[in-house]
Amino acid sequence: MRGRRIAVIAGADDFDRLVDSANDVEDRRELDAARADDDYVPWDEVKAALGS
């Protein structure tokens, strides 16, 4: 592909860690966006509502 990488070989555990890290980054972005829009419920309130 004219000098562009098209594939990577990685161990399954390394791949799982990369996917988990990417998911964590996306979750943080979504939380930041929800907080900016004042559209979230704090975890303590969720736990209290569930009786935990």
Instruction: Kindly report the three-state secondary structure assignment for every residue of the chain.
Output: CCCCCCCCCCCHHHHHHHHHHHHHHHHHHHHHHHHHCCCCCCHHHHHHHHCC
18's CB contacts (< 8 A; 6+ apart) are 10
pLDDT digits (tens, 9 = 90+) for 17-45: 999 999 999 999 998 998 899 888 888 99
In a domain, 6, yes or no: no
- Contact (Cβ atoms closer than 8 angstroms) between residue 43 and residue 52: no
In a domain, 4, yes or no: no
In a domain, 39, yes or no: yes
In a domain, 42, yes or no: yes
Range of the domain at 25: 12-50
Domain count, the chain: 1
Q: Would you place residue 1 in the very low, low, confident or very high pLDDT band (cuts 50, 70, 90)?
A: low
In a domain, 3, yes or no: no
- pLDDT on residue 39: 85
The answer for 45, left when phi > 0, alpha when psi is -120 to 50, beta otherwise, is alpha
This prediction's pTM: 0.62
